[in-house]
Amino acid sequence: MAAAQAGLPVRLESVAGELPLPVFVGITNELEMRYPNHPSTNESQPHILGSLTGSAPHPPADRPVLRHPDTSMDKQEAWSPPRSPGISPPCSPSAYRSYPYGAQRNGTDTLLAYDGKVPGRPSVPQENSSPSHYSLKLQSEQPVITRGASVERLVERAEIDYSDEPWRITEEQREYYTNQFRSLQPDLNALIMGTVAKNFFTKSKLPIPELSHIWELSDVDKDGALTFPEFCTAFHLIVARKNGYPLPETLPATLRPGFVEPGVVTVPPSEATEPLIVFDDNMMPGANQLEMGSVDLQMTSRPGVTAKQDRREESRKPAEFSPKRIPDPHEKPIQRVSTLKPDSPQELDANMKSRTRPRSYSSTSMDDAMKKVEEPPTPPPRPQKTHSRASSLDLNKLFQQSGQGSRPSQHSLSAKSGWLPPPPALPPRPPATQIFSFLPSSEKSSQKAVQQPNFADFSKFREEDSTLRHQGHAPQKPVRRKLHPESQSATPPSATPYSAATLTKSTQRPPPKQKREIQMAIRKNRETNAVLTRLNSELQQQLKVVHRERVTLESQLELLRPVAST
């Protein structure tokens, strides 16, 4: 293996000159080839890919040969018997993971000999041995040994799909990522810890700063762990990087976690991408634009709400509610909010189960202002267990207290119908906090307000869930959340343990709107107070200066008077 690896760079240099060209040529060829070959099996794709890369050093006339992958199989055998074990794995993507790394190395080894033949055989049919092409591509693309045979195959797959859009993840790539995800974390809805992911991605031999950048790009909720879509994004970026694509500064729209929804069955891509793209546009420029992005998200999501199924509505709702939370924390770190927003649609879709349903009805009871105040913009995504929790009971009580007759019915369990009214009420999107303060006064806002606290509730639960699941990382989230309500004088100090804080927060939710208003007023007063205090101190200093001057002048006057009098 070591010899092969050592041999690889040596060989690579000799062919490096031609290979970059072949790669790009191969990619453009793929565009033509892709659609005719797309319906073909996975096996043929690698064949094509391999053939494309192999064809680069060969005259273009060989390309027509690509159309007949069948004939290539025979040639394949002629080349290298050792490579035949490698042929079978490509046929089954699921076997990628288990494919012995050593076997790949063997293929590479033999490929070295093949490379020597390549320049000398212009008429060599390309579509043959996919593993050989795998290795060829391997050599051309990755002088460094990647994390495994699976990664190399993935690169091949990725190559195929880069023809028209390098940042789009195809189905087979997704399948591959799913398998890799499962190898790290059996539950697709769970998170991969940062350290686990770090070790895994370090195997790809990319330099650490690049991996760090990839992490920053893909961990949109900034929780130090990767959800499945985030993992796909990160993996995809790594693959892209290994293929020579420069890392983007910002996350492309197609790679946003919301765009790729593993569990979603019927999400129309257009709808899913709409808000996400808006996010993308708005997230990147700067913190101040995040609110705008959230507005847009709301706008785009709103039409979707009325037209779509409940699940969709619910997925939108959290997105809508999370933007609502944004205005509340004034100049709060808006970035955090926006990062949470992509998380919310993504997580919602990921957690599409019936859990989301309950959320809808529970939202009605709370005062959204309260929620916002206490809950930094955490997306409501993780629903439900609310009913089992005390806070949900509180919500129920509050709900009844508020006397909203329609709501309790929603509460009961099929909240879907109740879900509809609130979304349309969202339009008066508060771009600034002042508007938000008006919300409690309006009816609709009260509905929204009610819904929001529930989200806060859910987000608490989600945090609690994540606490249970990922102890190492959950504390980061709560600490983060604590940073947000900094100006919120009423919020408990962040020093309190996370669980205690969540409990206290949940108990604080029941208070009526007025308390929230009072808190807002308190906060404003404190700020004015601070400003006034500062002004006061400055004025005091000026007063002292003036006083000193006056004293000196008086003393001078005293001195002069006797002189004058005499």
Partner 1 sequence: QSLCVHLNYPLYIRSVPTQGELKFHYTVHTSLDVVEEKISGVGKALADQRELYLGLLYPTEDYKVYGYVTNSKVKFVIVVDSSNTSLRDNEIRSMFRKLHNSFTDVMCNPFYNPGDPIQSKAFDSIVSTMMVQAC
CA–CA dist 159, 154 (Å, integer): 8
Least spacing, CB of residue 460 vs partner 1, in Å: 19
* Listed ranges 42-50, 328-336, 412-420, 453-461: which one lies at the site for partner 1 (CB under 8 A): 328-336
Report which of 379, 300, 293 is spatially closest to residue 343, judged by C-alpha positions.
Answer: 379
Out of 65, 211, 425, 450, point to the residue binding partner 1 (CB under 8 A).
211
SS3 226: strand
Looking at the Cβ atoms of 194 and 304, the one nearer to partner 1 is 194
Give the per-residue contact string, 181-210, with partner 1 (x = CB under 8 A; - = no). -------------xx-xx---------xx-
Out of 9, 286, 424, 497, point to the residue binding partner 1 (CB under 8 A).
286
User: How many other β-carbons are positioned within 10 Å of the β-carbon of residue 51?
Assistant: 30
Find residue 193's DSSP bridge partners. 225
Q: Is 531 in the site for partner 1 (CB under 8 A)?
A: yes
Least spacing, CB of residue 332 vs partner 1, in Å: 7
Task: Look up residue 349 and give its two tokens.
Answer: 């879709």
DSSP state of 67: T
249-250-256 Cα angle (round to 5):
145
- Please provide residue 249's backbone torsions phi and psi, each rounded to the nearest 5 degrees: -80, -35
Q: Is 81 in the site for partner 1 (CB under 8 A)?
A: no
Out of 96, 215, 361, 419, point to the residue binding partner 1 (CB under 8 A).
215
- Please provide residue 202's backbone torsions phi and psi, each rounded to the nearest 5 degrees: -65, -25
Looking at the Cβ atoms of 302 and 332, the one nearer to partner 1 is 332
Considering only residues 452 through 491, tell me which ones interact with partner 1, judged by CB under 8 A. 476, 479-480, 482-483, 486
> Residue 258 in contact with residue 276, Cβ under 8 Å?
yes
Least spacing, CB of residue 230 vs partner 1, in Å: 12
CA–CA dist 156, 52 (Å, integer): 11
222: left (phi over 0), alpha (psi -120 to 50) or beta: left
# residues contacting partner 1 (CB under 8 A): 36
Looking at the Cβ atoms of 261 and 291, the one nearer to partner 1 is 291
Looking at the Cβ atoms of 107 and 333, the one nearer to partner 1 is 333
Report which of 333, 246, 242 is spatially closest to residue 283, judged by C-alpha positions.
Answer: 333
CA–CA dist 310, 80 (Å, integer): 56
* Listed ranges 93-101, 213-221, 302-310, 448-456: which one lies at the site for partner 1 (CB under 8 A): 213-221
> Residue 492 in contact with residue 505, Cβ under 8 Å?
yes
Give the per-residue contact string, 287-326, with partner 1 (x = CB under 8 A; - = no). x---------------------------------------
Q: Contact residues for partner 1 (CB under 8 A)?
A: 194-195, 197-198, 208-209, 211-213, 215-216, 219, 222-224, 249, 286-287, 331-333, 335-336, 476, 479-480, 482-483, 486, 493-495, 527, 530-531, 534
